[in-house]
Structures are given as C-alpha cells and as structure tokens.
Structure 1
C-alpha cells in the first residue's frame, strides 16, 4: 500500500528535505500551506506533492489535512526567529491533534536550544534540559507536550541536530550569517569563537536519517529521541574555511560576526534580538552524542563535508551548478 505523509512546514529547509527523502522511498507527500498554488510553483523541485490549503495555527485545518495519512511531520518554525512564544506551541498543538485523529506517529526535528551549559560538551538523549534562553524554554515545553501526547496515544519521534546547512531554505545560520544567498562567495562570516568546536547538520543527511528511522518505526517506542551527530569541527572556524574551499575561493577572508551591531539593533529588530540570545552556543562546544542512533541504524548518513557544502552553496545560488550538479542530483534522489 502507498503511504502518505503530511508535512507541516514543507517549504522550509528540513521540511522540504524530508519530503524528498520520503518521496524517494515511495511515500506520497501531502503538504499544508496558506497559499498552495504559490507553494507548488516555488517548491516544484519536490516533485508530485499534494498541496492543501490551510494554516498550521488552525487545528481544524491540520486535522482535516491529516485524514488518511500514515505519518505527520511537524517541521514548522516561526520564520526569522520571530514570535516563537505566540506561534511555536499552538502550531505543535495542531499537529498533535492531527496525528491523534489519524492514529499515526508524529515526527519532530529537535534543536540544541533545550540545553544549557550544564549539559555540555557531549550531550546524550538523557542529558538534563535546563535551557539558557527563552527559545530554549519554549523548545523544552514543546518536547514535554510531545511526551505527554505519547501517553495519550500519539507515538512521537524526535531527531535532534545542530545548526542546519543545506540547498533549500535560508532560515538558519548558514543562509543568514555565514554566506549571502544568491551571491558568489567573496568572504565568509563566522559567528563563533574560532577555537571552539561546533556541530553542523547537512539537511539531506538529516532527512535521510529521519526516513530510515520511519522505515523502522514499528521497532520504536511510543516516545523516542535520537541525536544526530552531523559534521563536527573541533575548531569551529574550520567550517568557514571549508565553505570558502567549496566555493572555489580558498583564500577568501573569514570575518567575525559583528555581535555588537546585533546588540545595538536588537531593541528594534526581533530577529537580531533572538539571534543574539543564542550567542552562548557559539562560545562553548556542544556536540550531540549519536551513539544510540548508530547502534539502531548501523551508521549515520554522512555526506563528505566539501561535497555537502558544494551542494548547499549551489542550492542557495552562491555557486554555479556545474561540477556539483551530479552530486546534488545523487543526494536528492538517493534511497
């Protein structure tokens, strides 16, 4: 039987990549959007998607869209870090209600915002969640709500990863701070302390991981969490140097993010205020322990760094789709 997955947030980075990974496995993809015609045009690279008109904030819309599906993926995030308090939990409640009505598992991409410095530097699934920020407290509340939902008949899968980078969606540090989408790389900006380790998650690898876990969901518990290791750099600035190499400009200067400017402008710009709140994650190393994931799957999907960066830069319009085109096609179409 053909399975259908409802993806909330399919126009975003992790939502679109999860749609591609599941689609490559024969899943039918259904996606909720307030403007389905525009979404179908903008996201044509996803292939055949059933776009359904609706708002993730409207529980009835999401429940209706989930009728007959075999999986719900909640990949919606407030754009530009804006209004987390007012939107994050209500959207999640809609997805929980939809998964419960359909009697299916709910997949939720987790973040490292849940953790404060007491959990650093190597963080396993059992580490205490003592958030350091407002967004972290919201993410903890979301996962607590998911755990509660798992006791109410909704099976939950959380896959947690570090900072995202990938070919689609710039609502992340890579697309908003490291490079400038749509422009050739002339310099690279790095937000963190150069000597401090940092973890990055290549979105196609993360989506592939989710798809493999979903393939074996009958073996999962009612509330299951896995940590995704991704690409780790002992000295975080090496990611910036790797980005420059992948862009074909290995000698490009690496600039520091002007945190002082974000501080000055944060009273007037919510996005800058929310970005500044996460600065502590750039000052101390936080590495996710993927031991449980590797033990379950046998290995973690992992694209070599230079190849992953070329794919990401091509997708963001920073690199012409020449040599990287075949790599891009192979990654998007792999099973």
Structure 2
C-alpha cells in the first residue's frame, strides 16, 4: 500500500504568537511544518515547537520564500515587523513575496486578519461583507494586503483570511496589548493598565484557539473558494471588565487594581518612538466596540474552538512568567472541547 503524500505547510512568522500557535496546531493535525526564520538557533530556543523544521531565510528575500515553499500545500503568512516598526516599507513587499511563492508552489496562503481594516465608529458588529474603510496607516496597509490576495485569486493564487480581535496567549509578543499593557511579563500583577473606556466592549482572541481554527480550515482547504474570508469571534468582553477580572482571579486578587492607559501621553512619547506613535492611532478601537460575527465560520466548521476565559488567561500569564495563584485553572496548548482534546 502506498503511503499518503505528506501535507506540507510553510509558516512565516513562527516566532510570533499566531505563527507559533498555528504551526503547533498544524503539527497536531498531521502536517509536515517548515518555518522560515532569520536565525534558526534563536528560533529553536525561543519557540520550542516540536515537530517543526526550521530553515534559515528572510521573508524580504523573495528567492528564499519561493525556495522554502516548494512542495507546500499552504503558506501561513503570520509575519509582521516587530514593534509596529517599518510597516510602510516592509509589509506589502512581504505579502508580495508570499504571493510569488504561492504562485510557484500552488499553495494556498493563510493570513491572520485584523479589525484595523474598519472604522470602529461606524460598525459595532462586523461580518465578512462589512465595507472596509480604515482611517489608520496600519489599517490602510491591511486593506491593501487583502486586496492583493483577492486580486491574485483571479489568476490562480488561492488564499484564506481569518480575522480576529486582539490576541493573547502563552506565546504573546510585545506587539500584543495583553503583554505590553495589561500585565508585565516576568512580574507579579500589581496594576492592570487597561486601554479601553469604561463600559466599552472589546473582542479578544486566544492564540491557541486561533491556531486550532487555522488548522481545521487547512484540513478542509479543498472545500474553500479561491478567496475565502472568515471571522473569529473569540472572547467578547461586553463592558471591558471581564478580562480585568480574569487576570485578577488568576493572580489570586480579590479585587482588581486597574487603571486606564494614559492615552494623552502617547503622542508625546511617539515623537521619540515609532512603536508608541503607531499605538497611539489605536485609541478609537478602545473607545468604540467592534464585535466579530462568526456565523459563517461556525457553519463551515460546526463550531469555533474556544477555551474558557479563566483557563486561557491563567495559561497566558504562565506563558509570560507572570505569577498565578495555585488555584488558577490550567490548560496546555489545547482546549478540552470535543475535537480539540488534550
């Protein structure tokens, strides 16, 4: 009996939260996973992704991306400039190189989408048909990325976009609000610095659940149209207090000590820091609620993977080396839901 051909996935951005969790989920689903990274020794030490083969190369080097994608059925494009720096110069050339690699290999591109494509004051709920009208630099670049994928689908380059809210998880990076504001990696929780206005809802996406969703979609890639979009609902914090309370419970605090992010200082600090200048543009997404409608995703997969909030928050804090109470719930990289078993 002839052995089945291996399903090969190339992951760009495996050192990041989405890329790392998606790579881990694909391995669990039986995929052969390659990761293209600039430094293979540092990547192995940083990510600890069992079953992933690391190849040295830069996503800005088109030839390296095309070579790494040979034989791949999917390419996960989860790479972003660190600290929001260099978006204008780097982001679109990166996606262009991935499109070239997908065209050469016949692979489908999997792209994590964001809510930055939308005007938060115009839409309290968004689905796959909501018009994209961005007012930030990052949002306009994100719209351009998706437009390039849609245009490429007309000439045979298939793609899939999975849009989610703000990420958090045990592999959270410094680009995440959770790891750069709400808690401080490696330190006990004292003050929770929350960016949102009181009473304003916010969408959160637990990274292992996002990775699992990508893997399930990849398993059924042949059933998708050439250009596909899905929205991931994640955890909806209806009034901006649910995540704060979950962090406090995980830390063993009876009452959370929370204060609001001093947005007024960011433009001043942004004069000296590109990262802070880019972050200051994000305030409207914390002053207006944007909830993602996931009916299309649930209709296709049957369910959206969702780890309970308390377990997700406690596991995230452990991954960031933030002390948690002994009674805090724990999960691994998997949720104890049917079809998503530890």
TM-score normalized by the length of structure 1? 0.96
Aligned twin of 2:86: 83
Aligned equivalents of 1:224 and 1:119: distance in 2? 24
1:291 corresponds to 2:295: yes
Of Structure 1 and Structure 2, which has the larger fraction of its residues in helix?
1
Aligned equivalents of 1:114 and 1:97: distance in 2? 24
After superposing on structure 2, the runs of 4+ consecutive aligned residues of structure 1 that deviate more than 3 Å are 320-326, 329-335
Unaligned runs of 5+ in 1: none
Aligned twin of 2:163: 160
Picking from 9, 23, 26, the partner of 2:13 is 9
TM-aligned CA deviation for residue 331 of structure 1: 4.1
TM-aligned CA deviation for residue 141 of structure 1: 0.4
Aligned equivalents of 1:266 and 1:204: distance in 2? 32
Picking from 289, 300, 307, the partner of 1:303 is 307
- Seen in structure 2, the aligned counterparts of structure 1 residues 243 and 165 have a Cα distance that, compared at 3 Å, is same
TM-aligned CA deviation for residue 237 of structure 1: 2.7
Picking from 55, 62, 76, the partner of 2:65 is 62
Aligned equivalents of 1:20 and 1:235: distance in 2? 32
TM-aligned CA deviation for residue 325 of structure 1: 8.3
Paired residue secondary structure (2:229):
strand
TM-aligned CA deviation for residue 184 of structure 1: 1.4
Check whether the contact 1:72–1:107 (CA below 8 A) recurs between aligned residues.
yes
Aligned equivalents of 2:14 and 2:70: distance in 1? 17
Paired residue secondary structure (2:296):
helix
Check whether the contact 2:120–2:289 (CA below 8 A) recurs between aligned residues.
no
RMSD: 1.7
Check whether the contact 2:315–2:330 (CA below 8 A) recurs between aligned residues.
no
Q: Deviations over 1:86-145 (max 9, x none)?
A: 111111111111111110111000000000136410101000001011110000000000
Aligned twin of 2:270: 266
- Seen in structure 2, the aligned counterparts of structure 1 residues 290 and 88 have a Cα distance that, compared at 3 Å, is same
Aligned twin of 2:105: 102
TM-aligned CA deviation for residue 246 of structure 1: 1.9
Aligned equivalents of 2:300 and 2:270: distance in 1? 43
TM-aligned CA deviation for residue 74 of structure 1: 0.2
TM-aligned CA deviation for residue 169 of structure 1: 2.9
1:48 corresponds to 2:55: no
The number of equivalent residue pairs is: 334
Q: Deviations over 1:202-229 (max 9, x none)?
A: 0111111111111111110000000000
Alignment of 1:90-239 (within 5 A): 90-117=93-120, 119-170=122-173, 171-239=175-243
Check whether the contact 2:69–2:75 (CA below 8 A) recurs between aligned residues.
yes
Aligned equivalents of 1:119 and 1:64: distance in 2? 43
Paired residue secondary structure (1:40):
helix
TM-score normalized by the length of structure 2? 0.94
Paired residue secondary structure (1:126):
coil
TM-aligned CA deviation for residue 267 of structure 1: 1.2
